A and B are shown apart, each in its own frame.
Chain A
Amino acid sequence: AQSVTQLDSQVPVFEEAPVELRCNYSSSVSVYLFWYVQYPNQGLQLLLKYLSGSTLVKGINGFEAEFNKSQTSFHLRKPSVHISDTAEYFCAVSDPNDYKLSFGAGTTVTVRA
């Protein structure tokens, strides 16, 4: 079974500063990778996904992530955050032949003015 490690449980950041959320996964074979965001008291919303092709993936709200197969990583970045980016962020992985998602424990991003 796939496993996902999100290296930071809490990330405080000032408004307009850059942020990077780190994600590593266990599998050495082909995988699909996802980042989801959960705003307070809401469900999960897809930010971006990597299925194949270019290793730099652009998502919604100015987020992007880079797939690094040799390091089995899929780190999420945003060059300038807003207060509205305060949320919990989840990295997830799935086998291309399977619908099931394995999630990391989540990273809480708190953006301060």
Chain B
Amino acid sequence: NAGVTQTPKFQVLKTGQSMTLQCAQDMNHEYMSWYRQDPGMGLRLIHYSVGAGITDQGEVPNGYNVSRSTTEDFPLRLLSAAPSQTSVYFCASSSEGDTTGGQRQETQYFGPGTRLLVL
């Protein structure tokens, strides 16, 4: 298994440009999410999906769109990039896992990240 893959690894955009950050997983996980990492702020949830066709907003969704047409892929779209979106973006996935005793035992697996610079 390749796990969680992200492309590109690094991208430079000009203000106002659009782009899509790709995320794919080959573990048949139901849950996928996007986080951004900024210095001193940890990781903050942008959008997440609990299955194909189902997405929802996280803590910092403004300026980002997502869709989930397949279980494997969860792209993140920036429609009009702004300097405030300069960040490192991580995609993660998890399964419901072992529900022994009624408790989920899931672990979230993270991709290697995409470093985005908006000028």
Contact = CB atoms under 8 A, between A and B. Distances in A.
Contacts of B107: 46, 49
Given A45-B110, A96-B103, A105 B40 contact: yes
Contacts of B92: 44
Interface stretch (B13-21, B41-49, B62-70, B75-83): B41-49
Interface in A31-64: 36, 42-46, 49, 51-52
Interface in A55-112: 90, 92, 96, 99-106
Interface string B101-118: 101111110111100000
Contacts, number: 58
Contact of A51 (B35, B41, B103): B103
A36 B35 CA distance: 14
A46 B44 CA distance: 17
A81 B104 CA distance: 32
Counting contact residues on chain B (CB < 8 A from A), the size range is: 20 to 34
Contacts of A4: 42
B104 A96 contact: yes
A105 B105 contact: no
Interface residues of A, number: 24
B105 A99 contact: no
26 contacts: A1-B59, A9-B40, A36-B110, A42-B112, A43-B90, A43-B112, A44-B43, A44-B92, A44-B110, A46-B107, A52-B103, A90-B43, A96-B103, A96-B104, A99-B48, A99-B50, A99-B108, A100-B33, A101-B33, A101-B43, A101-B45, A102-B45, A103-B35, A103-B44, A105-B41, A106-B40
Interface of B: 4, 31, 33, 35, 40-45, 48, 50, 58-59, 90, 92, 94, 101, 103-108, 110-113
Q: Which 5 A-B pairs have the closest CB atoms?
A: A103-B42, A43-B110, A44-B110, A103-B43, A105-B42
Interface of A: 1, 4, 6, 9, 36, 42-46, 49, 51-52, 90, 92, 96, 99-106
